[in-house]
Amino acid sequence: MFSKKWILIIIILIIIVLSVGWLILNNKDFFVSLTEKYGYFGIFIISLTEASTIIFPLPFSIIIFGAGSILNPLLVGFSAGLGAAIGEFTGYALGLGGRKVIEKKYKKHIEKTEKMFQKYGGFLVIVLFAATPLPDDIVGLLGGTLKYPLKKFFIATLIGKIILNLALAYAGFYGINWVLTVFSPFS
């Protein structure tokens, strides 16, 4: 079981994540200005925030797509991938800290995940979930619950997030003109 110190840290982390998620949802222009003003560091912060929020969905894919059309898509992909991989520690920490509750409530999901980890290898499963727009927060929660090694979790998540964000950024780089052409009659 975790000490009071760790429980307090997790509670504070949850409060920060919820507050930032609420702030961003109510100020979507914040994302655009952050990208324009802070460039790759802004992309990193946006990705970190998006991956840290488990409850609030943020318009992350659209931002990376747009940033790829403005900035260097290679650097956008790597900046976003690193931020997102670090942000996934939230789900992992919650899974680790709430193991007993999660094991009780989601026993069937944990068993399925354990089987997938055994059949395909945990590393590959995490990379695949991180490289797709699938709900990878669940994998983070389960990775923490199953005590999957943190270093391996981070590396697998980093690889997957970089793949996903490179795809989004290059889609923006090569596809923005098409999007503008298609949607220009509606503006």
Global pTM reads 0.75
User: What's the confidence (pLDDT) of residue 11?
Assistant: 78
- Tens-digit pLDDT profile for residues 61-72: 778 888 888 899
pLDDT in tens, 81-103: 999 999 999 889 988 888 788 77
Query: 1 pLDDT exceeds 60?
Result: no
Predicted local distance difference test score (pLDDT) of residue 65: 82
Confidence tier at 187 by pLDDT (50, 70, 90):
very low
Q: What percent of the chain has a predicted confidence (pLDDT) above 70?
A: 75
Residue 162, pLDDT above cutoff 90: yes
Question: What integer best gives the mean pLDDT of the chain?
Answer: 81
In the chain, where are the structural domains located? 4-186
Write down the pLDDT at residue 101.
80
Could you give phi then psi for residue 26, rounded to 5 degrees?
A: -90, 0
The three-state secondary structure class of 111 is helix
Distance of alpha carbon 90 from alpha carbon 68, whole angstroms: 26
The Cα 63–Cα 46 span in angstroms is: 9
Q: What is the pLDDT of residues 109-123, one digit of tens each?
A: 778 888 888 888 889
Range list of β-strands (E), the chain: none
* Cβ contact 31:41 at 8 Å: no
Q: What is the model's pLDDT at position 181?
A: 65
Residue 44 predicted with pLDDT over 80: yes
